[in-house]
Chain A
Amino acid sequence: MLQQIIDRRLSGKNKSVGNRERFLRRHKDQIREAVRRAVDGRGIRDMEKGEEVRIPKKDLSEPVFGHGEGGVREVVRPGNAEHLKGDRIAKPPGGGQGQGGSQASDSGEGEDDFVFHLSKEEFMQVFFDDLALPNMERTQLAETPEWKSHRAGFTNDGTPTNLHVVRSMRGALGRRIALAMGKRRDVIELEARLAELKALDPNDHEIQRLILETEAHIQLLRERIAGIPFLDPIDLRFRNRVRTPVPTSRAVMFCLMDVSGSMDESRKDLAKRFFILLYLFLTRHYEKIDVVFIRHHTQAQEVDEQNFFHATETGGTVVSSALVLMEEIIRERYSPSEWNIYGAQASDGDNWHHDSGRCREILSEQLLPLCRYFAYVQVAEAEQNLWEEYGKLSETSKHFAMRKAVEASEIYPVFRELFKKAGVPT
């Protein structure tokens, strides 16, 4: 008898994923805390990595009834080399430690925290949990509409694969009943007459003739009834599918960063951290989203991702140049009727003093009406005129938000605040 060996190697990997998820869910708070700390401590390049998470052992314990210290117990051990009955051995200080007995083996190691590795995906998941782009709306697209096919009742023609058998048969049944109705009634009447005729004198020729005639008539009607087709082409019903255009949401995010001379390395680092978070968040959560990087000193310039985060260049500061460029790009490429437009700006608040008022004007009059949301992060403590001007703006416009972040550890909370999903408590 040869027994079959089952090769399970290719099937059912990661059966414990569900259990792991539940474990992470349960310890969400500790994990969030770990993620927050990790983000603070990390360089820009390795923002996107997994993380070790520590959870105190006591938080993981599953209590059961067990014996505690004390009382009398007797333990049998192997390997006696020196003792005789009645020997007395001093107990080690600190209670009956070392007696272990039954419960010691199942926990593995005792004193340490429970440490485990959060994978990259899980890390990012926690990282951007509960965040979303605010005020996102679905806008109708003219050029490349998306179609969605869905069911819409039944039609009289279609391909055989779409044939709806039950509907068709129901129609056929109804048709057969309807067409045969009158004839059946006639048959019943004629049969009644036939019965009457047969009850009369059977030798009467006239009556004989009538009987034959009626019988022939009945026969004819029955044939007609039988002749009604069981299934007729007009009975057939097909499932109908129609295509409807679906409004899609497209979004563009403008990242505006100040790279002027007053932005020293640490401030630039703060700003970059903010944008890295934003960038990761956007690319993780939205498949179709355009990101436009603009950096400025006295002049603004659209750059690619690589240059935005890693190139170094300095000069004076004219913040409005970036806003103007953003407005131009919107006009050229991102029609507000088709795009959800977002803006995020980071600066140290230092600006050429005549420019700040202009920034406010451009924002309030040109950009904010086009944007769903505009966030400003200041990476320095000093409140200069830009902060004041923007402050006026934030009082009047709810699409505009501003925050300060002076240390790396503040970036993540500020980011979360700015992009908190509506309705989620902090």
Chain B
Amino acid sequence: MKPLKQRPAQPLPSPSDWTFELINEYHEVIRATAERYGLDTYPNQLEVITAEQMMDAYASVGMPVNYRHWSYGKEFIATERNYKRGQMGLAYEIVINSDPCIAYLMEENTLTMQALVIAHACYGHNSFFKGNYLFRMWTDASSIIDYLVYAKNYVAECEERHGVDEVEELLDSCHALMNHGVDRYRRPSKLSLAQEKAKLIDREEHAQRQINDLWRTLPRKAESDEDPDSAVRRFPEEPQENLLYFIEKNAPLLEPWQREIVRIVRKVAQYFYPQRQTQVMNEGWATFWHHRLLNTMYDDGYLADGMMIEWLKSHTNVVAQAPMQNLNPYALGFAMYTDIKRICEHPTEEDRRWFPALVDTDWEVTLDHAMRNFKDESFIGQYLSPKLMREFRLFSILDDADQSEYEISAIHDEAGYQHVRQALSKQYDLSTREPNIQVWNVNLRGDRSLTLRHTQHMSRPLHDSAEEVLKHVARLWGFDVQLESVNEQGEVTSRWNVLAPTR
């Protein structure tokens, strides 16, 4: 960390009400402090909004623009009701992974809270968005707002042309598959809005041609029976994990505009995919840095004592962890980053055994490395220390449906550290949190039915809602859809079948 050039003569003024000048003043100091720590961020854009606007933003998954859909309306109504009844406070901030990085400050916040939000969102989250490999790989911060504007207009146009009901049904179906509409391993190419638009027309034509190819085998059914090659040809040749992508490209009956909407939903899902995978890391990182930055400012003599107490109180609430409840990502993340810093600076004998690579390194470099190259699953697998497990008193419980009792499989002791860490790491692995469902087969020469396959993990069955979701798949696919659930021995244990919607 670079040294402070000059200590201020007196702390910054600290009335509880904020003004634009004061926010600017604080922002400037926070920015300078962050710079001394070498935080690399997108430029910041601060926007002051009202509570109502905050609820608006909540409703459209935190984005400043989004296409219209009833589920966002539902979200808004629920948020508004809870807020009005005082059942929940609104988040102090929303920050958007865009370039420039947009951070919303709520009008109701006190000056202290605004400073906290700036440190948390504009330097914590912002640097995470810019640095973490998942965000770098999967999201394009500079074009997301443009893309959402495009999406909103496109959907609105479709509503006008094809009717609100039709678009709504399509979006419902797409949303049902949203979690299965992401590429987990393949990296998408980045396109600017202009390129995106230019490609749209090409794509529509091309896609339609592809589908026609698929169709072409239909009238030739009789002769193809004799063709041994096509009899064994599978389609898709390999199982596909991105259901929405598969449907966009291959569903025989979709119109070009419907394919484009499927694509829009898929793109949005892909944009949020990294966020879902880095909850602990992202929130922990932001919390760690607001804590660090504000503390440094206090040490430098910028912050008054009253302010310090106020934000610490809020900070303490944020990182509170109730025993036996779900882990609080803020608490876990904050504790882990703080712990890594401790291991770097003041390692114990145990740390030397567990983290030989971390001991006695520069904590800023080590932390930066950790932030950039991991996601929750691997971050916990790599960095969760025995000391932290003891502090959190973590233990793992095994729940086997065949047994009448839970079993404590490991606790925070020498014999259990590895196991607990592994179990927790798996808990954050999206691929085990969500069922593994893939496109298995399309009956090319018969009724064109689509077969999906669920591969069970630890013999966990699918939720009952599967049938409902399958109806949505059938609506998109246009023909019959089957879902097979396959256990670890490769046997099909259950099967769902949904008929094609009648048109």
Hey, which bits of chain A sit against chain B, CB under 8 A? 1-3, 5-9, 12-16, 18-26, 60-81, 83-91, 96, 99-102, 104-105, 108, 114-117
Contact = CB atoms under 8 A, between A and B. Distances in A.
Given A61-B465, A70-B460, A86-B407, A77 B324 contact: yes
7 contacts: A1-B31, A26-B70, A65-B437, A78-B323, A86-B408, A88-B408, A89-B408
B1 interface: no
Nearest to B322: A79
Contacts of A85: 408-411, 413, 415-416
A77 B460 contact: no
A79 B324 contact: yes
Contacts of A116: 77-78, 81
A83 B407 CA distance: 10
A96 B31 CA distance: 49
Interface of chain A, main secondary structure: loop
Given A74-B397, A108-B82, A67 B107 contact: no
B59 A63 contact: no
Contacts of B396: 74-77
Given A63-B465, A69-B401, A76-B423, A23 B52 contact: no
Contacts of B461: 67-71
Contacts of B23: 5
A43 B276 CA distance: 51
A15 B56 contact: yes
Nearest to B392: A78
A67 B55 contact: no
B15 to A, nearest CB: 17
Interface stretch (B176-184, B194-202, B336-344): B176-184
Contacts of B56: 12-16
Contacts of B73: 16, 18-24
Contacts of A100: 326
A21 B56 CA distance: 14
Given A73-B399, A81-B393, A87 B24 contact: no
Contacts of B20: 5, 7
Nearest to B172: A62
B431 interface: no
B405 interface: yes
B443 interface: no
A23 B395 contact: no
Nearest to B409: A74
Contacts of B60: 15-16, 19
A64 B176 contact: yes
B221 interface: no
B324 to A, nearest CB: 5
A20 B14 CA distance: 40
A95 to B, nearest CB: 9
A72 B31 CA distance: 49
Interface stretch (B40-48, B205-213, B254-262): B40-48
A6 B27 CA distance: 14
Interface of B: 20, 23-24, 27-28, 31, 43-50, 52-53, 55-57, 59-60, 68-78, 81-82, 105, 107, 164, 168, 172, 175-180, 321-327, 392-401, 404-413, 415-416, 420, 423-424, 426-427, 433-435, 437, 454, 456-466, 468-469, 472
A336 B78 CA distance: 52
Given A73-B399, A91-B405, A115-B81, A9 B393 contact: no
**9 residue pairs, one from A and one from B, having the closest CB atoms:** A79-B323, A23-B73, A71-B460, A19-B73, A63-B468, A63-B465, A80-B395, A68-B463, A22-B70
Contact of A72 (B70, B78, B399): B399
Contacts of B465: 61, 63-66
Given A74-B426, A89-B405, 19 more contacts: A2-B24, A3-B24, A6-B45, A6-B46, A15-B53, A16-B59, A19-B68, A20-B73, A26-B70, A61-B465, A69-B461, A72-B458, A74-B397, A75-B397, A75-B423, A77-B324, A89-B408, A102-B427, A115-B81
A184 to B, nearest CB: 48
Contacts of B175: 62
Contacts of B456: 71
Contact of A3 (B27, B398, B401): B27
Most buried by B among A1, A8, A21, A25: A8
Nearest to B46: A5
B394 A19 contact: no
A67 B466 CA distance: 9
Given A9-B53, A20-B73, A89-B406, A65 B435 contact: yes
Tell me which of A7, A25, A63, A117 has the highest count of chain B C-beta atoms within 10 A of its own C-beta.
A63
A62 B175 CA distance: 8
B405 A22 contact: no
Nearest to B107: A9
Nearest to A21: B73
B408 A83 contact: yes
B305 to A, nearest CB: 26
B399 A68 contact: no
Given A84-B408, A85-B416, A91-B404, A78 B437 contact: no
A76 B412 CA distance: 11
A78 B335 CA distance: 13
A207 to B, nearest CB: 68
Nearest to B55: A16
A81 to B, nearest CB: 7
B487 to A, nearest CB: 9
A71 B23 CA distance: 53
B74 A114 contact: yes
Contacts of A66: 434-435, 462-463, 465
Contacts of B180: 65
